[in-house]
Amino acid sequence: MNHSPLLEKAIELLREVNSEEPVLDLACGNGRNGLYLINQNIDVVFSDIKESALEQVKSTLISHHDEDKSSAKFWQVDFEQDSFEQEELKPLAGKSFSAIIVFRYLHRSLFEQIKQAVTAGGYVVYETFSVDQPQFGRPKNPDFLLRHGELAELFSDWQIIHSFEGIIDAKNADAESGKQAIAQIIARKP
């Protein structure tokens, strides 16, 4: 259960961010990334639509961590419930995090909510597949693939600390090539 190397680039920033708020691991899955932050003594809210995913994170925490000392919280939520028109019903409305990390998940309607929910001086760490991915495997649906320059444009009013688009070697890639096309960003909110 390896965390993304991108998080290691952000770890000092996430440790030093001047905020009382936790980090949100948005669509956390098995929690590989949030658990890495917990190991670095950073408070994390694990969020996913799947109760089973959150249960898996909890059992990993119980088997590998002193639960009492763990600063993990859990939030079962559907981030795609944005058919609601009312602002206050949007999943991230009124919430505040020192950083939001998003890995291998894309729902474009959430972008503005993500930007709003990060405290001033906080961070977004985002990594998911780009439009070049279909040659290597899933996903192939353009709704789940970042366009070239999309993250950099989205965070153009933030301080961009790291930005990458390209092909990486990935052990868990579902293509024989073992390659994945991804885009990454680490950005700081003004």
Ligand X SMILES: C[S@@+](CC[C@H](N)C(=O)[O-])C[C@H]1O[C@@H](n2cnc3c(N)ncnc32)[C@H](O)[C@@H]1O
The residue behind tokens 């981030």 is 79
Q: Decide whether 45 or 120 has the Cβ nearer to ligand X.
A: 45
Residue nearest to ligand X (CB): 29
Cβ-proximal residues to 87 (8 Å cutoff; 6+ apart), any chain: 93
- Does 29 sit near ligand X (CB under 6 A)? yes
Q: Which H helix or E strand runs over 47?
A: strand 44-48
- Shortest separation between residue 104's beta carbon and ligand X, angstroms: 4
- Shortest separation between residue 73's beta carbon and ligand X, angstroms: 15
Q: Rounded to whole angstroms, how far apart are CA atoms 85 and 67?
A: 39
- Can you tell me which of 17, 32, 129, 136 binds ligand X, judged by CB under 6 A? 32
Q: Decide whether 29 or 137 has the Cβ nearer to ligand X.
A: 29
Query: 179 near 170, Cβ under 8 Å?
Result: yes
Length of the chain: 190
Residues 57-96 that bind ligand X (CB under 6 A): 77-80
Which region, judged by CB under 6 A, interacts with ligand X, from 6-14, 55-63, 100-108, 179-187?
Answer: 100-108
- Can you tell me which of 15, 50, 138, 148 binds ligand X, judged by CB under 6 A? 50
Cβ-proximal residues to 8 (8 Å cutoff; 6+ apart), any chain: none
- Does 160 sit near ligand X (CB under 6 A)? no
- Can you tell me which of 103, 123, 155, 158 binds ligand X, judged by CB under 6 A? 103
Q: What is the CA radius of gyration of the chain?
A: 16
- Can you tell me which of 8, 12, 15, 49 binds ligand X, judged by CB under 6 A? 49
Q: Decide whether 49 or 157 has the Cβ nearer to ligand X.
A: 49
Q: Rounded to whole angstroms, how far apart are CA atoms 67 and 129?
A: 33
Which amino acid, residue 98? S
